[in-house]
Homo-oligomer: A and B are copies of this chain.
Amino acid sequence: MGVVVQNIPRAPAEVIARLAAAGVATVHEAQGRTGCMHAQMRPVWRGPRLAGSAVTISAPPGDNWMLHVAIEQLRPGDFMVLAPTSPCDMGYFGDLLATSAMARGCAGLVIDGGVRDILELEEMGFPVWSTAISAQGTVKETLGSVNVPIVCAGQLVNAGDVIVADGDGVVVVATQRAAEVAQKAEARMASEEARRQRLAAGELGLDIYDMRPRLAAKGLKYV
């Protein structure tokens, strides 16, 4: 506790943009069905598909002091990713902090906790994914850390990891794997497009994927 790491690795902007275009579900598949935050992590308002580098925040329950510290560490396009050290659904973040974060070019916030002022956040166009919405305010009394490894909504996040977020939730991609995952995601999108057209024409997945022999071998019976 009480550490701010100032220099963190980031994936290239071009790779981040390609991951954003692929979206959460595809990126998650492309890296072997790993990295998804759990299903309680939801967008506060329905906004764009986004990706950015993680500035991580480990915060005490009910204490949002470290958000002010983290904002200074932001570079344009970064996401803030906050995990409390113990489960807490209080409103850590509202319109004033969002104003400050936007002024520093912050792309959005992912928080395993609560936020407030959500009408204002939507009006400002500041994207937030959270596990709670609560007007309950916090204090500024106890240190946490910035840019240390955290566990957020069930996933390990290292500072600089790529965060991809959309209506399906949030997925984390390790910095060093980002280019490889972007490539695999694009390959997947291409092959999905072909299958989509066949499915739209009424062909069955049972036939496109040649599932019938394997289903029969497992013992599926039609009665």
Given A88-B86, A171-B135, A211-B140, A114 contacting B39 (CB threshold 8 A)? yes
Question: In the bound complex, do residue A205 and residue B68 qualify as a contact, i.e. CB atoms below 8 Å apart?
Answer: yes
CB distance from A172 to the nearest CB of B (A): 11
Contacts of A68 in B (CB 8 A): 204-206, 209, 211
A62 is an interface residue with CB less than 8 A from chain B: yes
CB distance from A39 to the nearest CB of B (A): 4
**Most chain B beta-carbon neighbours within 10 Å: one of A29, A141, A196:** A141
**Most chain B beta-carbon neighbours within 10 Å: one of A32, A116, A223:** A116
A184 is an interface residue with CB less than 8 A from chain B: no
Question: In the bound complex, do residue A116 and residue B62 qualify as a contact, i.e. CB atoms below 8 Å apart?
Answer: no
Question: In the bound complex, do residue B39 and residue A89 qualify as a contact, i.e. CB atoms below 8 Å apart?
Answer: yes
Given A25-B94, A86-B62, A169-B133, A202 contacting B104 (CB threshold 8 A)? yes
A residues 200-221 touching B (CB-CB < 8 Å): 200-202, 204-206, 209, 211, 215, 218-221
Q: How far is the CA of A211 from the CA of B219 in the complex (A)?
A: 20
A5 is an interface residue with CB less than 8 A from chain B: yes
Given A68-B204, A135-B168, A169-B133, A100 contacting B62 (CB threshold 8 A)? no
Question: In the bound complex, do residue A62 and residue B88 qualify as a contact, i.e. CB atoms below 8 Å apart?
Answer: yes
Since A33-B136, A86-B90, A154-B154 are in contact, a sample of 15 more A-B pairs with Cβ atoms closer than 8 Å, ordered by chain A residue number, is A2-B219, A25-B137, A33-B85, A39-B89, A39-B133, A46-B119, A49-B119, A61-B61, A68-B205, A68-B209, A72-B204, A72-B206, A99-B200, A135-B168, A142-B218
A/B interface sample: 9 pairs, CB < 8 A = A5-B223, A28-B137, A39-B136, A61-B61, A68-B205, A71-B206, A72-B204, A118-B167, A142-B218
